[in-house]
Amino acid sequence: MKTSLRTDMTIAQVCEGFEYDDSEGKGLYGLGGRLLIQPEYQRNYIYESARMEAAVVESVLKKYPIGLLYFNRADEDRFEVLDGQQRITSLGRFLKHKFSVHDAQGMPQYFDSLSDEQRRLILDTRLTICICEGEESEIKDWFRTINIAGIALNAQEIANSVYSGSFVTAAKAIFSNSSNTNLQKWSTYVRGAANRQDFLRTALEWPVGSTDRDKLDQHMSLHRRDDNADELRAHFDAVIDWIELTFIAACKEMCGLDRGRLYSTYHARQYDPAELARKIDRLYADEAVTNPRGIFEYVLGDCSEPKLLNIRVFDEKTKRVAYARQTDAAKRDGVSNCPMCAAAHLKNSARIWKLGEMDADHVTAWSRGGETSLENCQLPCKPHNRSKGNA
């Protein structure tokens, strides 16, 4: 990749003809239309939400350097921003009166309300720009290494840059568009922010059935030249629709669950939503359930995997009381304090086990309605307890 350094461009020149798309949160053009500020491989504009855009302008007013910018030469007289789109967009937005900065007295000041000297300082400040020329693979490889003002590119932002094309463009228009009216509904089930590509990442994970970066990158590579993202949107909608039809009420623990895997595993089964709701309510009220996020898969799987709920075990006090009660009765009757050994009539039928050699267990299994209480606690020896099933 060939590079050259330019220090003759001012903020006024770079922001000439600046346009900003509020609906997509992206800077569009500068240099009188000759500079593409946010190519498709770039991340969305995030300085506004990160409250960093004013800092860029304040740095210029204090005559602090705002760092090296990188432009990729698209042709003889046209460029695209390789690194610096957040800073350039911040400057352009300020010149377009999109936000204010605070003066020394803490008063908000828009560009037009600054003094003539301050306005001229901003417009005449020269930027340091590295012009890059090379093959697409070289440009993309360079872009992958970029960090902007301490906010590192996340995995999906990098993937968007590497596999930029018609598919990424179409997918971002759906899942990275802050004006999409579905975002609020989707936020019930998906964690993150559209402008950091979290919804797009999730939409890709669901049909792939994995969060593995390599598998997701393979999927994006395979579909890179698709002229739309209709299939991706259809699968995402199918998962969301299934969730809403299956679960009557959304709970906070549902957000961020691997809904794609649950859909793939269970969507072909028939469920009674009202019955699922009753089971979920009962489990939420059960103090023995220490992993409420596991409740949803537990009920979808016919309540056959208690390990999903991380059932609270008997505390040490309960174990000691149950052990003393059980051991006293065993000694009085001349049998083992392990109920299973006592019933087996074998060599351990009269053995008195130490507390550390026994496990606390439910008399009536938790999955069958048994409570995690002293009244429902028994201590079999470890060999017997670990050889039995969910009886």
DSSP one-letter string for 157-178? HHHHHHT-SHHHHHHHHHHS-T
CB 161 within 8 A of CB 140: yes
Q: Give every CB contact of residue 55 below 8 A, 6+ residues apart in sequence.
A: none
**Entry pTM:** 0.54
pLDDT (0 to 100) of residue 321: 94
* Residues in a beta bridge with 35: 30, 79
Residues 31 and 74: their CA atoms lie apart, in Å, by 14
Residues 64 and 50: their CA atoms lie apart, in Å, by 20
What are the distances in angstroms from CA 281 to CA 62, 272, 278, 302, 365? 59, 14, 5, 15, 20
> Three-state SS across 361-372?
EECCCHHHCCCC
* Helix, strand, or coil (residue 350): coil
CB 153 within 8 A of CB 85: no
* Helix, strand, or coil (residue 378): strand
* Helix, strand, or coil (residue 29): strand
CB 131 within 8 A of CB 3: yes
Residues 68 and 336: their CA atoms lie apart, in Å, by 79
Q: Whose structure tokens read 């906010």?
A: 151
Which amino acid makes up residue 61?
A: L
pLDDT (0 to 100) of residue 145: 60
1 secondary structure, DSSP code:
-
CB 302 within 8 A of CB 265: no
pLDDT (0 to 100) of residue 26: 64
93-126: burial string, b at 16+ Cβ within 10 Å, e else:
bbbeebbbbeeeeeeebebeebeeebeebbbebe
pLDDT (0 to 100) of residue 385: 84
Residues 67 and 54: their CA atoms lie apart, in Å, by 15
pLDDT (0 to 100) of residue 391: 42
The total number of residues written for the chain in this structure: 391
Query: Of 138, 17, 139, which is closest to residue 88 (Cα–Cα)?
Result: 17
* Helix, strand, or coil (residue 390): coil
pLDDT by residue for the chain (391 residues), tens only, comes to: 788 899 999 999 999 999 887 766 666 889 999 998 887 666 667 666 657 889 999 999 999 988 889 898 888 889 988 888 889 999 999 999 999 998 888 888 999 999 999 999 999 999 999 898 877 777 667 666 654 444 566 788 878 877 878 899 899 989 988 888 888 888 888 888 888 889 999 999 999 888 888 889 889 989 998 999 999 999 999 999 998 888 887 666 677 678 888 898 999 999 999 999 999 888 888 878 888 888 888 999 988 888 888 877 788 899 999 999 999 999 999 999 999 999 887 788 999 999 999 999 888 877 677 888 889 999 999 988 887 654 4
pLDDT (0 to 100) of residue 252: 65
**Terminal alpha carbon distance of the chain:** 68
Residues 204 and 215: their CA atoms lie apart, in Å, by 10
Query: Of 64, 65, 70, which is closest to residue 5 (Cα–Cα)?
Result: 70
Q: Whose structure tokens read 């560009």?
A: 111
38: buried, middle or exposed (CB in 10 Å: 19+, 13-18, 0-12)?
A: buried
CB 379 within 8 A of CB 365: no
Neighbours of 313 (CB within 10 A): 15
What are the distances in angstroms from CA 136 to CA 69, 75, 161, 188, 364? 18, 13, 11, 38, 66
